[in-house]
Amino acid sequence: MIAASAALVVTGCQGDDGGDGVGSGTVAGSSSGAASVSVSPSGSAGGGVSEPGKGGASTSASASASTSASASASASSGSVGGAVEACAAAGLEAAARQAADRPDGTGTGAVVVGFTNVSGTSCVLGGHPSVAGAGNGSPEHNSPLAVTRTGSAPSVRVAPGGTAWVKLTFVQVQGEGDGYCVSGADPVVYPTLVVGLPGAGKHQVALDDGVFAECDDTVTATAVSLAKPS
């Protein structure tokens, strides 16, 4: 598979907003429980809190300890925690390549788009992308594709130099030459696509080994993920 070229953050062909799902700004972490509650190294609440002369531990203290332990476990597993800024458009570099797993046909079929964090600090991405065929000169000339979203869309923290991914699957072109669409529509070819992410701007991408050929102006898109799709 030939790797796609790094793409530009669009100037002439992009709008101001990204895709749908998560706004820009700060992602706040979870608050811990009461300070009077101790948590053992294994993450369980230790001892509870008792009033002088009382025998039983406080139920609310146990609940707070459970919440605190859960938040700590979430942070250690790589979930978004603490105050982490959403990724800025200027801090991302996008690139596209044909996917290994794509529908049968003679068009593009499917592509994988990677967004690499070049900002030097961790940032957050999330949601599903918007997709449009790039027009000439201004965003008004772009041709939006109808996006069918698949999968849940939790926010992910992208470390400096790390990459988050989406996969775009098109209605495949059939036949040789100019090809045809099963629906009866004419195939459409775009030299570049504009792929937007919620709160992270819109990015123009191209393929090193061809153009984006699709039918029916529709695309199925996965949510942003740290797992690279095939």
The model's pLDDT over 122-181, given as tens digits with 9 standing for 90+, comes to: 999 999 999 999 987 667 789 999 999 999 999 999 999 999 999 999 999 999 888 999
pLDDT of residue 84: 87
pLDDT of residue 81: 52
On whether both 160 and 99 belong to a single domain, the answer is yes
d(CA 87, CA 224): 12
If pLDDT is split at 50, 70 and 90, which confidence band does 76 have? very low
Flag whether pLDDT at 189 surpasses 50. Answer: yes
68-to-40, 72, 73, 197 alpha-carbon distances in Å: 11, 6, 9, 32
C-beta separation of 115 from 165 below 8 A = yes
80-to-73, 174, 202, 207 alpha-carbon distances in Å: 11, 43, 23, 32
Tell me whether residue 230 is in a domain.
Answer: no
On whether both 50 and 121 belong to a single domain, the answer is no
Average pLDDT over residues 33-46: 38
**β-strand partners of 189:** 213
On whether both 135 and 156 belong to a single domain, the answer is yes
d(CA 46, CA 38): 6
Across the chain, mean pLDDT equals: 75
**Taking the model in full, what pTM does it have?**
0.66
Least confident of 42-56, 80-94, 103-117: 42-56
Range of the domain at 64: 38-76
pLDDT of residue 122: 97
On whether both 144 and 68 belong to a single domain, the answer is no
Residue 146, burial from CB neighbour count under 10 angstroms (0-12, 13-18, 19+)? exposed
If pLDDT is split at 50, 70 and 90, which confidence band does 95 have? very high
On whether both 12 and 69 belong to a single domain, the answer is no
On whether both 95 and 185 belong to a single domain, the answer is yes
Rounded to the nearest angstrom, the gap between the alpha carbon of residue 207 and the centroid of all alpha carbons in its chain is 20
As a residue count, the chain comes to 230
Domain count, the chain: 2
> Alpha-carbon dihedral of residues 130, 148, 26, 142, nearest 10 degrees?
10
pLDDT of residue 167: 98
Flag whether pLDDT at 38 surpasses 50. Answer: no
Flag whether pLDDT at 30 surpasses 80. Answer: no
Average pLDDT over residues 10-35: 41
pLDDT of residue 105: 93
